[in-house]
Amino acid sequence: MHETHQTTPGTVGPIRALTGPAGPAGLAGAALKRCRGDRGSAAFELVVLTPILFGVLGFVLFAARTTSVRQTLEQASRDAARTASHQPTPARASAAATEAVNATLANHRITCAALDVTTDTNRFQPGGVVAVEVTCTIKIADLTGLPLPADRRITTRSAEVIDTYADHQP
């Protein structure tokens, strides 16, 4: 028995229009031939992009960790200035400021390779100001976890007004 297909004018039969003259295997074969030239390109892309992605990830972690340490140092200098402003003498203010900085850094588990706490008590009187500057040198290896030999120095400064009615001795 012979089958006939009806088509609308200007079209080819339903199967040939979708598959081309060689049928479904002809199109798949042509696509397969084109893909064979791309063999191994995914592995190459992976080899090239993996170090770049790790580098970007490392930079993001470094920036986040540096920001976290800076915020902790700002908190430490604020705490130190506040504590120093409540002390009766400049000498006790300086000692209390250093203790406050060490306590804040210990609470946040931050270790400085070099720590410098400077307390400015030049205007240590009721209504005056006490200022604390904290400088912490951190090893980049501690920030990133990578064995890098460089250091990062972070400095913060905070000031606190001394209570006008407090009993302070200059």
| Cα–Cα distance, 66 to 152 (Å, whole number) | 9
Torsion of CA 103, 108, 112, 115, to 10 degrees: -30
Stretch among 32-41, 51-60, 93-102 having the lowest mean pLDDT: 32-41
How do residues 105-153 score in pLDDT, each as one tens digit?
999 999 999 999 999 999 999 999 999 999 999 888 777 777 777 888 9
How do residues 25-52 score in pLDDT, each as one tens digit?
555 555 555 555 666 678 878 888 888 9
Is the pTM above the cut of 0.75? no
**Length of the chain measured in residues:** 170
Residue 104 has pLDDT above 60, yes or no: yes
**CA distances in angstroms from 113 to 66, 67, 72, 75, listed in the order given:** 15, 17, 16, 19
| pLDDT at residue 44 in the model | 79
Q: What is the mean pLDDT of residues 52-63?
A: 86
| Cα–Cα distance, 120 to 132 (Å, whole number) | 6
* CB 139, CB 147: distance < 8 Å: no
Six-digit token string for 128: 């005056």
Mean pLDDT over each residue of the chain, to the nearest integer: 81
% of the chain residues with pLDDT over 70: 73
Single-letter amino acid code for the residue at 46: L
Cβ atoms < 10 Å from Cβ of 24:
11
For the beta sheet containing 114-123, the strands, ordered from the edge strand earlier in sequence to the opposite edge, are: 114-123, 129-139, 151-161
Q: In 20-163, which ranges are continuous DSSP H helix? A: 24-36, 41-85, 90-107, 140-144
* Maximum C-alpha span of the chain: 119
Residue 82 has pLDDT above 70, yes or no: yes
Residue 169 has pLDDT above 80, yes or no: no
| pLDDT at residue 88 in the model | 92
**Beta-sheet pairing, 129-139 with 114-123:** antiparallel
pLDDT bracket for residue 2 (50, 70, 90): low
